[in-house]
Structure 1
């Protein structure tokens, strides 16, 4: 029996410029840590081989340091690693792969399958048929040669490819297409795919593993690897999906109008696991006291998250008469509050809202000091 760990779309070197520098660096670092996690998992599960179905690297311009660091992270598993070039790291005549070889940083147990030739791992009685991308986009099926490829009769046949399954993930002008019946046509025991960033079953012998570390706000079952048991040529594979993500990604939207809505938001944010990546969009309107509570709720939630983005442009400030009375603003201060409120209403200028909130905070602080 062969125990194979299938992963893909590591995209080492990915940039997270939409987030603060500290958070972006941590998310980039998590992708290196994912390699270490995969190595540890392979040892724990007594895997025989790890296959990576494309997009190991995010670009051809990855720094030498990051290139070395990625291969160093594989040290925890001393069995064979089989790495396939995808569309982000295609096997060009001069590529991230040729540079890795030139730097001498590719470990002995790592096989870079950058040519469409069978890789025979005789000790495992396993033949891997790779379909490396030699350019970023192609409009013919690079797995077609699998059908005529020979392998020893006692070997398990595993295909390794990166692209869109025809009839399932293809769209207008889609590229890098793969026949959804390739496993049957090529007599494959398993076809390991990359490109789709979530775990996805095509059929009993064909899966996308997805990326081991989520990288976008899409509910596509990402952050996992696939453990595959192959009992011999012709036997159906037995699969187990294993979570590997350090940082879950959540996209949330809430409309706020009163304290009850704030209660719902507070509970929703409390349910988000620590160290998650959160994108929050807020809409509606709140009183001054509501905004003050909101700022506390958001501050507490942001402190628990690894990365945070909150969009409040469509959330309006609507002070009530009770708000103004509670501020104990009179004379010119009350006039200033009312003028800021009018400016905020008429122009939708966020600066007016910020000024009003600051003034309210100062007045409340003054009132608290007088009370004591």
Structure 2
């Protein structure tokens, strides 16, 4: 009863320039840890092989250190690994793969499927039919030759490819590296292991995307898993189970604040996130000065608690209530400044001037905040 682990889209060498250096470094490190976790899973579940369906590396130009660290991270599983070049790490004449071989970094139990063909794992009962990308984009279906590839009748026929199943994926990504949705039928495959879509996705009972084992973007598409596939014998229906490997959860929230309860609910949701969270907030609507102070305080606590927190307040307007102004004791000249800032913000609504007025209101509120209120908090 052959069993294998299906994974893809490791994107090793990826950088996170939008984050602070400390957070970016932690996110990079999590990707190496994900490889170690999936190797441990393969060992724990007594898998016969690990199949990596493309984009092991994020670019051809990754450092030698990255190459060595990737292969070192696979050491937790001693069985065979079959790695396929994808669009980010295509098998060019001179590529990250040829460099890895020159470095002597590729372990003996790792098979690099750099050419279209069959890798027969006789002891494991598996024949891997590979369709590597030899350039970043192709417009023909590289899995078409699978139908002509011969394998021993007692071996599972497992396809390994990287691309877009035509007509079944969202976001209009059907333009390059096409794969026919009926390839398992036309090529008599027991299973087709795919990469390129970064979340777990079932195409049919024999065709799956595993997604990336560690999320790297804000997209709710079931990223952060690997698949363990159990097939009793050639022709049997695959039993596919997904196993979580992600360390960090990525959340992107677009929130409109209209009434105080909107803010209260948002702050409760922020407080309930797991510590291994990457949170990106984009806020619009209106806030009172008291609400703005409360939001600032909660975000400050969250920034220290979670892996990363970013918040875009450019769509927010501050609307001080009479109670806000009374608590600030902004009489005379200060009261006039507060009123001018309110009017400036409301007059422009959007753009740099509105942002300056909004920020100035927030800063002024913080400076004028009663000392007893600060002590109470």
Instruction: Tell me the equivalent position of 2:164.
Output: 164
Alignment partner of 1:235 is 2:236: yes
| Deviation for aligned residue 1:241 | 1.0
TM-score w.r.t. the length of structure 2 is 0.94
Secondary structure in 2 aligned to 1:349?
A: helix
Instruction: Tell me the equivalent position of 2:52.
Output: 52
List alignment gaps of at least 5 residues for structure 2: none
CA deviations 1:331-361 (Å, max 9, x no partner) are: 2222232233333333443223222222222
Instruction: Tell me the equivalent position of 1:329.
Output: 330
Instruction: Tell me the equivalent position of 1:285.
Output: 286
| Deviation for aligned residue 1:211 | 0.7
Instruction: Tell me the equivalent position of 1:364.
Output: 369
Instruction: Tell me the equivalent position of 2:299.
Output: 298
Distance 1:369 1:273, change over 3 A: closer
Instruction: Tell me the equivalent position of 1:317.
Output: 318
TM-score w.r.t. the length of structure 1 is 0.95
Distance 1:285 1:243, change over 3 A: same
CA distance in 2, matches of 1:319, 1:78: 64
| Deviation for aligned residue 1:14 | 1.2
Question: What is the aligned residue count?
Answer: 371
Instruction: Tell me the equivalent position of 1:155.
Output: 155
List alignment gaps of at least 5 residues for structure 1: none
| Deviation for aligned residue 1:238 | 1.0
**Aligned-residue CA RMSD (Å):** 1.9
CA deviations 1:116-170 (Å, max 9, x no partner) are: 1211111112111100000001111111111011111211111100001122138
1:60-79 maps to which residues of 2 (within 5 A)?
60-79=60-79
CA distance in 2, matches of 1:326, 1:293: 15
Kept in 2: contact 1:199–1:209 (CA 8 A) = yes
CA distance in 2, matches of 1:74, 1:17: 27
Kept in 1: contact 2:158–2:193 (CA 8 A) = yes
Kept in 2: contact 1:327–1:367 (CA 8 A) = no
Instruction: Tell me the equivalent position of 2:106.
Output: 106
Distance 1:262 1:172, change over 3 A: closer
